[in-house]
Chain A
């Protein structure tokens, strides 16, 4: 493809702004536009910012004017936080529907890349230890977010079938971690006592924030049809992750875990979504064969390295500072 014109939704998010900044510096990209009601988090040089709500049908008039060849859908709410669950659902599902309707109206679109979520697989005790792309609906949908993601994927698949000339890429992201991000994982790791399920130590798979962005850019330059898992290679046990961050685990018996975390949420201490709660109990890992082979992108940091990098950069305090050095020092 020659000079690219790219539209990014959710440009007011950290990832949206970072992505726009990276694409601005890319000589292969002619024009960058961003859609959001929030302003970008940093000053952008040549990005056209469209102040519109993705849920509003008016975007069907605004988007064709951008004459974008690629739409990057980045406005998916992973954690409602202060927002009500209904508002999050509206942005996720209705927003995607409106966006797809707008894309239908603009003839220039050649590819749509959605930054989706591996949350669609859920977290199950009897799950395959590495989900492949076609295993998306092996288990019943248990949480609201999971159902939302599933609906988004359904709409997207229908769109993809109806528009065979448009390459539709669904990127299924595992949770990201990094010093620049504020996500459920980083919030969790900054708690002095990290609540865990008593007797459970699931395998957690994440992706480093730089790799997450690079994967998105790789998919923009080489869109492939269908779903692609995006995650760092390897997994790390939850307990190990907490210890690497220099925190202490606080095991809570499973039957009272929701009650305790709800109370903590009311107290404003932490906000654990039902998805994340299931992740803390059963974990989840995905197979990234398609990302490596088809998109041609290999994440640079493994999950353990991503955690270590996060801890190092944010200056996470360790419980046992350089044990080896001290023993050697004391012994000599």
Chain B
């Protein structure tokens, strides 16, 4: 790493043409990226001429690259050979790590997320994150993950429960699974908690994502409190999470029931950009975000039998809901303008 930086600076100091500096033909030795690419291609051709197959040739040529690039190439080639790990849920940590820089860029530059109270999330053992849900694509789940990975002193990947409909879609299903998404089902949540994982749930479900723009930040009904039952049974603390900013990224101005029915989707959103701009409509608007992780609500004291106590389940569910709603209003005030 250091070596490479040194050689870069020295070659620049050694009189490389200034960028965009007209007539002088660029000398390959002076421009490391080009030089590298050329060396790589040369080695690749030699290796291919020597009669080896493409993958081997790629790897052999990789030897001419600096270490980190070579490492990436090696990993990519190894993945082509099936040499990577997925846990029993299909979570692929290497894939998630590779996607992380991109998400971090979104976190920093696009959504400018400010996360508070991250230390309220337990560093070890089972816990449940319950958050408000908005936006058509699950950027709220992803940004919560990035917030935890970046700000938490002992970072770990949360598993989030995703609406089952997403798993019938091509690409979306694979992507979800590889970064830690799991079909939203009580069995799955219970099993994940048993395995001492950090599980993120969105108790509003599709009612949260499919609501019109004018109802933004008004929490919908929390189902029948199933998430509380599961937490009680597993004796896992519930951490309410308030996410501000997710409502403005895809302001829903209407919906098409006809298209939703044709596609078998729970709803078909119409936003200022979707579906008019095609795939570009999936690009979220750059709203400003705040994520607050609130004080955990302990459930261990009630014991697992309390899961059958309807009154307690509703009471806890309501407590989570009120906490999130209150924090949503607080953070909306703190955030100020939605986009700048």
Q: Report A's interface with B, CB cutoff 8 A.
A: 125-130, 132, 135, 197-201, 203, 233-237, 240-246, 254, 282, 285, 287, 318-321, 323-324, 326-327, 330-331
Contacts and interface: CB of A to CB of B under 8 A. Distances in A.
Contacts of A242: 82
Contacts of A125: 164-165, 167-168, 173, 183
B90 A237 contact: yes
Contacts of B55: 319-320, 323
Interface in B66-94: 70, 74, 77-84, 86-90, 92
21 contacts: A126-B165, A126-B168, A128-B187, A129-B185, A129-B191, A130-B188, A201-B177, A235-B89, A237-B90, A240-B82, A243-B79, A244-B83, A245-B82, A246-B81, A254-B170, A320-B78, A323-B81, A323-B83, A326-B56, A326-B60, A327-B59
B276 interface: no
Interface in B254-290: none
B205 interface: no
In the A-B complex, the 7 residue pairs with the closest CB atoms: A199-B170, A126-B164, A243-B82, A244-B82, A125-B168, A330-B63, A128-B187
Contact of B80 (A197, A254, A320): A320
B90 A244 contact: no
B59 A126 contact: no
Contact of A200 (B81, B174, B182): B174
B170 A200 contact: yes
Nearest to B172: A199
A319 B52 CA distance: 12
B88 A327 contact: no
Nearest to A321: B56
Q: Is the interface of B mostly helix, strand, loop or mixed?
A: helix
Contacts of A254: 170
A199 B82 contact: no
Contact of B78 (A130, A246, A324): A324
Contacts of A285: 88
A320 B88 contact: no
Contact of B177 (A130, A203, A326): A203
B59 A326 contact: yes
A320 B59 CA distance: 9
Interface residues of B, number: 39
A96 to B, nearest CB: 30
Contacts of B158: none
A198 B92 CA distance: 19
A199 B56 contact: no
A90 B168 CA distance: 34
Contacts of B174: 199-201
Nearest to A240: B82
Nearest to A237: B86
Contacts of B172: 199
A254 to B, nearest CB: 7
Nearest to A244: B82
Contacts of A127: 183, 185
B183 A126 contact: yes
Contact of B84 (A135, A240, A331): A240
A203 B167 contact: no
Contacts of B167: 125-126, 282
A86 B194 CA distance: 44
B62 A327 contact: yes
Contacts of B86: 203, 235-237, 240
Interface in B150-176: 164-165, 167-174
Contacts of A237: 86, 90, 92
Contacts of A132: 187
Nearest to B62: A327
A130 B188 CA distance: 8
A320 B56 contact: yes
B82 A198 contact: no
A324 B80 CA distance: 13
Contact of A129 (B56, B59, B82, B89): B89
Given A125-B173, A126-B183, A254-B170, A327 B56 contact: no
Contacts of B70: 327, 331
A194 B223 CA distance: 42
A242 B82 CA distance: 7
Given A128-B187, A320-B59, A324-B74, A241 B82 contact: yes
